[in-house]
Amino acid sequence: MAKPDIDSPYPLTAVQIAQFRRDGFIKLKHVLSPEALAYYGAVITTETFRLNTMHLPIEQRDTYNKAFLQVGNIWTKNETVKEFCWGQRLARMAAELLGVRGVRMYHDQALYKEAGGGITPWHADQYYWPMSNANSVTAWIPLQAVPQEMGPLAFSIGSHQFEAGRELAISDESEAKIGRSLKEKNYPLNDTPFDLGEVSFHYGWTFHRAGPNTTKTPRAVMTIIYMDEDMRLIAPNTKAREGDRNVFAADVEVGAVMDGKMTPIIYHAA
């Protein structure tokens, strides 16, 4: 049986690219086929639960750990997951949305919101990343449809331009403070469900959150974080960024292009 296609180009329009840069995110339908999601999703799910180290009952966890099971760098542990993470379709889309020649993978991360899982508080991903500029994007890839009651990712439209709250980690404090600031500034919210095959892309500085999963089924999501192939490592100025540097860029000098063994170029325009 032929493997599902994850490499052929997805035709992005100039209007869609402009929308992404204006709003800080975009949701696109029919990015991956049901066959591709079933084939790769089965392996991602197996590996996520195999590698998961969080075994406390949900009611005994803090807000962060109630939000999802979080397993990263799966591509380094399984060849099928690596094949998925190195797929050319998503990487090319990331490069075209960012307007760069090529992208590196910063890392992958499975985010499984368990049945009964809590909210994902307001945050911006790049709080955690020691990167020299804003040319970073997360592809949020549900492995099934995500109805409202499962906790789809919700975006604050245009908030990648809003700097208040960027210093906050995912927490009860970030949920309260960022949520209040965005409301005061009248940033609109997009919290629509995801169809099967729909994928979103959001800038590292776009504020986003997710509701709880009130269903009896885990919300299975894979994410791939891409960055400009010319991204440089900055000196980590928080404990979170120091931790990221140690995991993803330990072999990169501060100030150098992030050309380490953990951050390979995935796509480069011919």
54-109 pLDDT per residue, tens:
999 999 998 888 888 999 999 999 999 999 999 999 999 999 999 999 999 999 99
Q: Chain centroid to CA 53: how far?
A: 20
Is the Cα dihedral 268, 144, 27, 105 positive or negative? negative
Check residue 205 and give its pLDDT: 98
Residue at 129 is within a domain:
yes
Calculate the alpha carbon distances from 60 to 48, 57, 63, 64, 118 in Å: 21, 6, 10, 12, 12
Check residue 147 and give its pLDDT: 98
Helices and strands per DSSP (H, E), number in the chain: 7, 11
How many CA atoms does the CB half-sphere of 17 hold within 13 Å?
14
Query: Which residues on neighbouring strands pair with residue 227, listed in sequence order?
Result: 104, 136
CATH number where 91 lies: 2.60.120.620
Residue whose pair of structure tokens reads 């590996």 in the numeric block? 47
Residue at 211 is within a domain:
yes
Pairing, β 136-142 against β 199-203: antiparallel
**Is residue 261 within 8 Å of residue 247, measured between CB atoms?**
no
Residue at 156 is within a domain:
yes
Q: Which residues in the chain show pLDDT less than 50?
A: none
Q: d(Cα 267, Cα 265) in Å, to the nearest integer? A: 6
Residue at 8 is within a domain:
no
User: Model's pTM, two decimal places?
Assistant: 0.96
Q: How many domains does the chain have?
A: 1
How many Cβ atoms are within 10 Å of 82's Cβ, its own excluded?
15
**Is residue 178 within 8 Å of residue 122, measured between CB atoms?**
yes
Residue at 3 is within a domain:
no
Residue whose pair of structure tokens reads 């190195």 in the numeric block? 86
DSSP state of 217: S
Pairing, β 102-113 against β 153-156: unpaired
| Domain assignment of residue 55, given as a range | 14-231
Check residue 1 and give its pLDDT: 67
DSSP state of 199: E
Q: Is 190 strand, coil or helix?
A: strand
Instruction: Give which of 130, 135, 117, 127 is closest to 211, Cα–Cα.
Output: 117
Dig out the tokens for 176 from the structure: 């309260």
Dig out the tokens for 108 from the structure: 């992958």
Instruction: Give which of 124, 103, 110 is closest to 227, Cα–Cα.
Output: 103
Q: Where are the beta strands (DSSP E) in the chain?
A: 25-28, 69-72, 102-113, 120-123, 136-142, 153-156, 189-190, 199-203, 208-210, 219-228, 265-268
Dig out the tokens for 115 from the structure: 């049945």
Check residue 64 and give its pLDDT: 86
Residue at 6 is within a domain:
no
Residue at 119 is within a domain:
yes
Dig out the tokens for 216 from the structure: 């009896």
Residue at 72 is within a domain:
yes
